[in-house]
Amino acid sequence: MRELLYLLPILACPLGMGLMMWIMMRSKRHSTPDHPSPPAPTAEQEQELGRLRKEVDALRGELDADPRLRKDASA
Note whether 26 and 33 are within 8 A (CB): no
Mean pLDDT for 45-65 is: 93
**pTM metric for this prediction:** 0.41
Over residues 54-66, mean pLDDT: 91
- Each residue's pLDDT tens digit, 8-39: 888 888 999 999 999 988 877 666 656 777 88
DSSP assignment string, 26-67 = HHHHHS--PPPPPPPPPHHHHHHHHHHHHHHHHHHHHHHH-G
Q: Where are the domains of the chain?
A: 2-28+42-68
What does the pLDDT average to over 42-60? 95
Per the model's pLDDT, the better-predicted residue between 66 and 29 turns out to be 66
